[in-house]
Amino acid sequence: MAEHYKMAKAGKGGISRRSVLLGGASLLAAASILPSRAFAAGPGTNPGKYKIDLGGYTGPELTDAPITIKVMRQEFSPEINAPIEAAYTAFKEAYPNITIEEERVPYGDLAKKVQLYVASGSAPDIMMGSTELASVYAAGEIAVPLNDYFSADFIQDIYPAMRDAATIDGKVMCLAWESNSCFVYFNRDIFKRAGVETPPEVTDVDGGWTADQLLDAMRAITEKLRKEGDQTTFGMASSRFGNRGPGSNYSQLEGMWVRMMGDPNAPKDSTLFKTFAGISEDGLTASGYLDTPEAIQGMKNYQAMFNEGLTPKGVVVDHYKSGAAAIDFSSMAFANTFRKSGAPFEWGVSPPIRGNIPFASSVADAPFIYSGSQYIPEAAALLAFLLNDTNRRAFYDVRGSMPSRKSLTDESPAYKTDPVAILCANVGERAFGSPKSVGWLDYVNAVNPAVKDIALGVDVEERLHSTAAQIDRLLAKYR
């Protein structure tokens, strides 16, 4: 166990629920089609053990007393809310003494709501969090370790990258809701118009373009389009992550330009390893990790897109989906949107781009159980019910995202025959979590503005050095 986590658990070092969540000035505004058939009991089912199938739940039978379980999650569209509402109804039919009160908030407000609730000392029993904050949940003792309430088989069924990201000192702090690991989408019509060869359409994660190949292709496309007088079509789409535009979401998007230049298998004292790690092993030092020579080169590659006019410096809504950008990064979301609603252009997919390694983030929305809950077993049982096989199949069917558990992708024909789904699963297998730090909120709140400044043209090396030093100072309070 890292020493600072030990101290946190012991209530030393000034770390508390409030301090870890208030560590940052603000928080980040951070498909499968199944046939009707019988499914065998798997890690996500426990038929006959309780009044209903509580999935991976292994805790005691639930109370008979009248209680209320409060849930806070993001708002979805009506068709995606429907299977969750149906699950609540089924749960309440089996346990009529348990009332479920749900609060839905806009996705961009979710993390802020968690922060406010925890700071108040009174929070919903179940809240939608994120795997990237698992260290924060653990250090502040905000979330209940789930190993005591979920079977080992269920936890083991979660894709390793998402499971590892949510695990601190062997304790699983939250459960990935769905996979959103990204890969390359391209507009075949724009590539054809510019006479540029499209990226490899393979399902092997190692088979994608390098960063240099991507930049060269965007340069060729942009040069051709501008010569034709087209000033509005770009090589790379404006970011739609987080608050949109450059500096929108280092965890899931922009950090890949840095961490792909590293290598998790290199010696730990090498800059290759440190570039990938992004932070020291104790989670408290960024200098020498965020600003290595490799990291600087990665951010220079990122900056080139803006300096050379390959992507907008501002925000363009639905840039790729409207057909005005050649390349974007997304998970299964675009594919399912295009397949359901149609696309205004011919599209294709390719693996994540590569530096020393192909890099995709495994950051996932992940519900957790508030440690201050009066009804922890009941909250765990409700969460498990929402995550059992039946309810997850219903959710993924309408949501179109990739399941976070491997048994659900393995049973789906789509993940054996559909190249997009196969690539998505392969990326999910090879994705990486965020650097683990009790001060991760401080880290991203410092690095996101730096990324935006870099996009607007500041000196990369100087900005990364100053940002790393700034993060070191911010993390000093956790020492």
Sign of CA dihedral 128, 133, 135, 141: negative
- What is the chain's pLDDT, residue by residue, as a tens digit (479 residues)? 333 333 334 443 445 555 555 554 433 333 333 334 445 567 899 988 999 999 999 999 999 999 999 999 999 999 999 999 999 999 999 999 999 999 999 887 888 899 899 889 899 999 999 999 999 999 989 999 999 999 999 999 999 999 999 999 999 999 999 998 999 999 999 999 999 999 999 999 999 999 999 999 999 999 999 999 999 999 999 988 877 888 888 998 999 999 999 999 999 999 999 999 999 999 999 999 999 999 999 999 999 999 999 999 988 889 999 999 999 999 988 898 899 889 999 999 999 999 999 999 999 999 999 999 999 999 999 999 999 999 999 999 999 899 999 999 999 999 999 999 999 999 999 999 999 999 999 999 999 999 999 999 999 999 999 999 999 999 999 99
Is 50 in contact with 381 (CB distance < 8 Å)?
Answer: yes
Q: Helix or strand or coil: residue 471?
A: helix
Instruction: State how far the Cα of 428 lies from the Cα of 306, in Å rounded to an integer.
Output: 29
Prediction pTM value: 0.87
Is 257 in contact with 332 (CB distance < 8 Å)?
Answer: no
Q: Edge-to-edge strands of the sheet including 126-130?
A: 98-105, 67-74, 126-130, 365-369
Start-to-end CA distance of the chain, whole Å, equals 15
CA-based radius of gyration for the chain: 22
Tell me the residue type at 355. Answer: G
Instruction: State how far the Cα of 214 lies from the Cα of 295, in Å rounded to an integer.
Output: 18
Is 56 in contact with 153 (CB distance < 8 Å)?
Answer: yes
